[in-house]
Structure 1
Amino acid sequence: MAEVDITKCSQLDVGIVLEYFKKSFPFLTTIRMAYFLDFETNKFCDLLSNSTVCEVDLTVDISPLLSSNVSVLYCESESRSMQNRYFSMPSRRRPRPTLSHISKLTLEGRTDFSDSELSDIAECCNSLIYLNIRGCLSVTDIGIANLILRCVKLHSIIASDTSFGRSSISALCSRGQGTANIPLMEVDTEHLKLSDINLQLLHIGGCKGVCETSLEDLLSKEHKLKSLCLRGTCLVDQALYRFPGSTLEMLDVSNTMISRDALMHTVVRNSGLTHLVASGCRNLCLHRSKNSEDNLSPPNLSENFFIKLGKECQLEKLTIGWGFSDLSVNEIAPALISLKALTVGLGGSLGPEGLKQLCILCPLLESLSITFQVISDVVIMNLLVTLRKLQALSVCYCIGDLSPLFLNCKASYLRKLKLERVTPWMTNDDLALLTQNCANLMELSLVGCTRLDVDAQQIISSGWPGLVSLHLEDCGLVTADGVDNLFDCKAMENLLLRHNGCGIRRNFIIHAASKLPMLRSLSLDWCDASEGDLNLPNFSDRYSLSNVKIARCKLRKCSLDFHNKSAPERPVHKETLVLVWNSTSLQKTVVKERIT
């Protein structure tokens, strides 16, 4: 046997499992152990010492506190006591293995992995070519940089939402100059001559430590990149103009300040682009001259961006907002023949005509998400009837005439459905009809369905017993009498229940974790607590939970009724308590923002 996948089998004893693998599978090359929250770093060296293993996946859920924009009101960390651990660990650290053949390593979401583990990897994994440390909040820029310097074969790095910054970029630029065995502190990064960087994949989205200058220097030396994620970084036009690459297949520049001209310059050079993510880019509505940052003019002067995109690329995934309209659909038409996923969000102006065109232009579409757009019954029904490969449909916060008529469309091929603030008329009967016509759903999100009541739970659990994710918010009285019926959905991994009726009992979190063996993420609201409070789990009774979010509201009058003393007060968000577990500790954080 060459590959073993025990993903989500989180109750297995890691030590026994690893020993069994060594003895039973002498030719094992791939180990996938995703969502093993209790895999402690002590066992990592044991895994590295397996001489035949080339690929390891230790992914866990990404922390909901990744955003650096959250306002922390309170934070504390509780260490996990030895007597409460699932697995017995030696108190003394094992000696580091001398050599490992691991070439592909995924540690996504591992907040318990620190620079010490990165040092082990750098020392042992000479063959490492792919590293995913996305969301590893405990590793530092220096730790990442030292690993980059020592793992000279590394050509694929996913370090989004980490401390990746100037030191890591300096390390990338200095590789191949005789610095592989020198600690970063001893390398004169200010005077290094930049050499070409042979990365194929670089994802550093959300890395706030990356400055404009260092990012520009980095991109100017990237010739062979196939996948590049710069989401939410200090990316500016000049950096894209200096980027010499022509082999990009995936580009994510979402939530950056780039202009339409700079993006078009990159698209024209990379005709093999199949995935483009450019949501949240407000400057896509503007024309900006390559030679003058202040030369702004109306959008129509740069309208040929989508025409160029249509001529140059064959897209499979497009995420867009600002600057995208019904007219853009026609301009980009040649690029949409192979499109499988489309997301249109804030800033886009895609109306019924544009959506009708999608039914004709995108026969292979598998995922469609529209937010803050204009919709109609006819259009949604046409989408469901025409797009027979559609597996995911998300219609959120849209305006238009949407009635129960579209529920009559049979869409057994749908696996994911989001209807948020677009179906306030939905009743239990409508929900039952939805279970019949969309019988194979695995993920469901309903927001603002105020006419649902407690019987909706039974309809959901009997109609979709295999649900993996369920979000219900502002849905009438669904939880007014408890949540027991939802426990029949044994495959549930992600559950959000907010403002659905004050019937959630004090022990619900622990009870849900015990009844739903796959449950990893739970979101609630204190408004729904029947006894005014909720018991919080510890390590011993969290089961498979990796994070819990509990929102708290405060009562406030509508601003229009502020001077009306008799006006009713309504609940508005105040703060969120976030609990996040890893193998060594429980972090309790209170933030101002609403975390879902």
Structure 2
Amino acid sequence: MSSLRNADPTLRVYFKHHRLLDVYETLLCGVFIMCPEDPLKFLEEKIREIMEKGLDGILWDTCIDSSLRPKLKRISETYLHILFGLNDEQLMTEELCGKAWNFYSKNLKKLYFHTCICKIPHELHHDIVGLYFCCVIFFQSLVKGDQEEYFDKQDDVQYSSTSETVKDEISNIPERAILQIDFSSVKHKMQDKTLINILKKWRTYVVRLNLRGCSSLHWPSFKSISECKNLQDLNVSECQGLNDESMRLISEGCPALLYLNLSYTDITNGTLRLLSRSFSNLQYLSLAYCRKFTDKGLQYLGSGKGCHKLIYLDLSGCIQISVDGFRYIANSCSGIKHLVINDMPTLTDKCIQALVEKCQQIMSVVFLDSPHLSDVAFKALAECKLVKVRIEGNNRITDLSFKLMSKSCPQIKHIYMADCQKITDVSLKSISPLKYILVLNLADCVRISDAGLRSFLEGSSGTKLRELNLTNCIHVTDASLMKIAQRCHNLAYLNMRYCESVTDAGIEALGNMTSLISIDISGTTVSDMSLAALGHTRRMKELSVSECRKITDMGIQKFCQGAKDLEYCDVSYCFQLTNETVKALAFNCHQLTSLNIAGCHKMTDLCVQYLSGVCHYLHFLDISGCVHLTDKTLKYLWKGCTQLRILKMLYCRNITKQAVLKYSAKLEKQEYNDADPPAWLGYDSGGGVLPLTKKPKTGPEKAKALYQNENKEAA
């Protein structure tokens, strides 16, 4: 049919109104595909069908029998797999689409940024850094979930807890005109002039602003922040220039703040008084490692309008707070739901009791490195209907705490009680009736054995469990793994690191667990048989087999044949592995982003050549102790692994410092020295095997020694 572009407007409207082009298309496609013996009769029947169904449901293949229609997958949205005969496994997945888009957009930004820099005088380059990162940010509606993750000081998330979604009810600007700016990635380059210029242009739309670690900012920058009237989320952690006067400016100009991170700053009681006066809607507050305020400042929180809507509070490292300080918090912030208090050796049972007297809505608690808490604190917390508990490095908490949880916290989902030496099988038996446990971490609880695990796994939560960590539980054997394979059909993450009693028989039982995506069996006695079995899971994305001395290239090859989606792999200190291991990983696991081959002294430059030729998504690589690698390794990585961000090269004698300086410009972090490998690695600078020497106690040795010492003391 000839184009209607130049036809009479009335005729074009007629065609569009009656959808004649769509009708012609579906009729012609039907004739071409079906090839009826009587075309006129066929067209007559199909026209009647269209008249009965109406024009709204018409598609190009309406007149084609369902058996002859191409069966397209929604995810492909294309006919390419028909034209080229691709099977389902070769189709582009959502994950690969996402990675491809991120790769494309990131390189596009770099291209335009470098082009822009080349056309701008050198003396103006310091202003461009901030403008570039402002251009990278996108507009989107404010949906605030898992906010605890945002307050964490470390780059890798240590603890996250699901919180209620907070809707944008304060700001009057449209949801689609909300700007988020994150300067933490360029914190060492940020200057007052850059920030002021950016906020001057975008201040009306800025709702979320992250300045973590921007230590060069001073009063003018905080003055410009105060002009962002719609600001709701502010992170000024580690901003050395922040003080009470700076916070006064911000409090006067940003009354809509919901989230505020002041950790590692020099704020005093004056800032806490401002919080109660100006931020009546504040919900998330981090004062972690702020050492200059006192109990008096916490008393201010209850004055004025008060921080009565606070639901998240982080007081980690604030060792100056006494029992009275916690009592003041309870009086002014009774609605707290999420409490984080890490690195506080002064935290006692009385502090928790004072807090819980009025804070009855607490749902999650994190007490890392708080050794003086005992069952008394848990007895008080049991009244709060906890959902998540995280405690580490405590030698006073006993099985009684688990009994209290079982009795008073029926909705608990997350139990993290690592390195709590007095916990025994009795604890696991106590929580076996609980129905909703998804995460159980008992790392370094050396008294746990098969009997306790059997009781828990046969309980109500056994089939719901998603994550299980039994690191250093030296009394756990293959019997527990067989029970896990039998009961835990939803288990995704399993950590059996340094469980020395685990063998191939136990790991082979896990081979049919299709839910498993991450496993750590480092420091165990497993062999190639275990890896062959794990390859059958098909969904494995993370594998750690560090210090598994019986594993060879053959085991890795068998595993890789089934683990096509592998993203993280740690085979460090597996002395039998050669270039063939990396070849198998590179050619089978194209989505690999993190690889650790430290201590694999048989590796040569050829293995890195394999890696750089295929694994273009690689972000992290550790080649420490690979004594045969040379400068060619860095050349290969430079050309092929353009996404590499972290590279560790300790004890690499044949890699020169000049090559490191030349090829590491793109890296965010690199560790390098050309020293001889330490004797405990078991080989010299040429890869020759050394006589066995004592290695620092790790894993099961440490756990066993501790267990034996406790038994001696008890005797």
Relative to the length of structure 2, the TM-score reads: 0.59
Q: Name the structure 2 match of 1:319.
A: 441
For residue 441 of structure 2, give the secondary structure of its aligned residue in structure 1.
strand
Match of 1:528, as an amino acid?
C
The 2-side partners of 1:248 and 1:6 are apart by 39
Does 1:384 find its partner at 2:511?
Answer: yes
Match of 2:391, as an amino acid?
V
Task: Give 1:126-525 correspondences, 5 Å limit.
Answer: 126-131=255-260, 138-140=264-266, 142=268, 146=272, 151-157=279-285, 162-164=288-290, 167=293, 174-178=300-304, 194=328, 195=331, 196-206=333-343, 214=351, 217-218=354-355, 220-237=357-374, 238-243=376-381, 245-257=383-395, 258-285=397-424, 304-321=426-443, 322=445, 323-332=447-456, 333-347=459-473, 349-373=475-499, 374-385=501-512, 387-399=513-525, 401-404=526-529, 406-407=531-532, 409-427=535-553, 429-479=554-604, 483-488=608-613, 489-505=615-631, 508=634, 512=637, 516-525=641-650
* Deviation for aligned residue 1:113: 6.8
Going from structure 1 to structure 2, the CA distance change for 1:542 and 1:532 (only over 3 Å counts) comes to closer
Highest relative contact order (Cα 8 Å, sep 6+), 1 or 2?
1
Residues 359 and 382 of structure 1 are in contact (CA less than 8 Å); yes or no, is this contact kept in structure 2?
yes
* Deviation for aligned residue 1:468: 1.2
Q: Name the structure 1 match of 2:157.
A: none
Q: Name the structure 1 match of 2:190.
A: 40
Residues 555 and 569 of structure 1 are in contact (CA less than 8 Å); yes or no, is this contact kept in structure 2?
no
Match of 2:134, as an amino acid?
L
For residue 225 of structure 2, give the secondary structure of its aligned residue in structure 1.
coil
Deviations 1:66-121 (A, max 9, x none): xxxxxxxxxxxxx99xxxxxxxx9996463333443444567xx756763598376
* Deviation for aligned residue 1:405: 5.6
* Deviation for aligned residue 1:214: 4.8
* Deviation for aligned residue 1:384: 2.3
Match of 1:398, as an amino acid?
T
For residue 239 of structure 1, give the secondary structure of its aligned residue in structure 2.
helix
For residue 283 of structure 1, give the secondary structure of its aligned residue in structure 2.
coil
The 1-side partners of 2:361 and 2:251 are apart by 23
* Deviation for aligned residue 1:200: 2.0
* Deviation for aligned residue 1:268: 3.1
Match of 1:101, as an amino acid?
N
* Deviation for aligned residue 1:472: 1.1
Q: Name the structure 1 match of 2:177.
A: 28
Deviations 1:531-582 (A, max 9, x none): 56466659x9643x33333467667777xxxxxxxx95789999xxxxxxxx
Match of 1:97, as an amino acid?
S
Does 1:547 find its partner at 2:669?
Answer: yes
Q: Name the structure 2 match of 1:76.
A: none
The 1-side partners of 2:293 and 2:644 are apart by 38
For residue 523 of structure 1, give the secondary structure of its aligned residue in structure 2.
strand
The 2-side partners of 1:413 and 1:516 are apart by 25
Going from structure 1 to structure 2, the CA distance change for 1:116 and 1:280 (only over 3 Å counts) comes to same
| Number of equivalenced pairs | 502
Match of 2:384, as an amino acid?
S
* Deviation for aligned residue 1:357: 0.9
Unaligned stretches of 5+ in structure 1?
A: 61-78, 81-88, 182-187, 286-302, 559-566, 575-596
* Deviation for aligned residue 1:304: 4.0
* Deviation for aligned residue 1:259: 2.4
Going from structure 1 to structure 2, the CA distance change for 1:452 and 1:511 (only over 3 Å counts) comes to closer
The 2-side partners of 1:532 and 1:571 are apart by 29
The 2-side partners of 1:132 and 1:511 are apart by 42
Task: Give 1:28-107 correspondences, 5 Å limit.
Answer: 28-29=177-178, 31=180, 33=182, 36-37=185-186, 40=190, 42=192, 46=198, 50-55=203-208, 93=221, 95-104=224-233
- Higher mean Cα deviation, 412-421 or 341-350? 341-350
For residue 486 of structure 2, give the secondary structure of its aligned residue in structure 1.
helix
Match of 2:226, as an amino acid?
P
* Deviation for aligned residue 1:198: 2.0
Match of 1:492, as an amino acid?
L
Going from structure 1 to structure 2, the CA distance change for 1:139 and 1:319 (only over 3 Å counts) comes to same
Match of 1:378, as an amino acid?
A
The 2-side partners of 1:330 and 1:349 are apart by 13
* Deviation for aligned residue 1:365: 0.7
Q: Name the structure 2 match of 1:295.
A: none
Residues 173 and 197 of structure 1 are in contact (CA less than 8 Å); yes or no, is this contact kept in structure 2?
no
Q: CA RMSD in A?
A: 4.7
Going from structure 1 to structure 2, the CA distance change for 1:23 and 1:231 (only over 3 Å counts) comes to closer
Match of 1:530, as an amino acid?
N
Match of 2:393, as an amino acid?
N
Residues 140 and 179 of structure 2 are in contact (CA less than 8 Å); yes or no, is this contact kept in structure 1?
no
* Deviation for aligned residue 1:420: 1.5
For residue 177 of structure 2, give the secondary structure of its aligned residue in structure 1.
coil
Unaligned stretches of 5+ in structure 2?
A: 1-100, 114-128, 142-173, 308-320, 681-688, 697-715
* Deviation for aligned residue 1:44: 5.9
Does 1:15 find its partner at 2:131?
Answer: yes
- Higher mean Cα deviation, 261-270 or 409-418? 261-270
Q: Name the structure 1 match of 2:654.
A: 530
Q: Judging by fraction of residues, say which structure has more strand.
A: 1
The 2-side partners of 1:18 and 1:467 are apart by 30
The 2-side partners of 1:511 and 1:533 are apart by 16
Residues 282 and 347 of structure 1 are in contact (CA less than 8 Å); yes or no, is this contact kept in structure 2?
no
Match of 1:154, as an amino acid?
L
For residue 473 of structure 1, give the secondary structure of its aligned residue in structure 2.
coil
Going from structure 1 to structure 2, the CA distance change for 1:482 and 1:439 (only over 3 Å counts) comes to closer
Identity %: 12
Match of 1:384, as an amino acid?
G
Residues 130 and 195 of structure 2 are in contact (CA less than 8 Å); yes or no, is this contact kept in structure 1?
no
Residues 571 and 596 of structure 2 are in contact (CA less than 8 Å); yes or no, is this contact kept in structure 1?
yes
Deviations 1:426-480 (A, max 9, x none): 12x4333222111110111112322222344433322223211111122232245
The 2-side partners of 1:487 and 1:143 are apart by 55
Residues 566 and 589 of structure 2 are in contact (CA less than 8 Å); yes or no, is this contact kept in structure 1?
yes
* Deviation for aligned residue 1:414: 0.7
Deviations 1:132-158 (A, max 9, x none): 67xx6x435749974865644333456
Q: Name the structure 2 match of 1:185.
A: none
Match of 1:269, as an amino acid?
S
The 2-side partners of 1:166 and 1:241 are apart by 32
Deviations 1:144-183 (A, max 9, x none): 9748656443334567xx51569487755652233969xx
* Deviation for aligned residue 1:40: 3.0
* Deviation for aligned residue 1:352: 0.8
For residue 233 of structure 1, give the secondary structure of its aligned residue in structure 2.
coil
Q: Name the structure 2 match of 1:184.
A: none
Going from structure 1 to structure 2, the CA distance change for 1:369 and 1:463 (only over 3 Å counts) comes to same
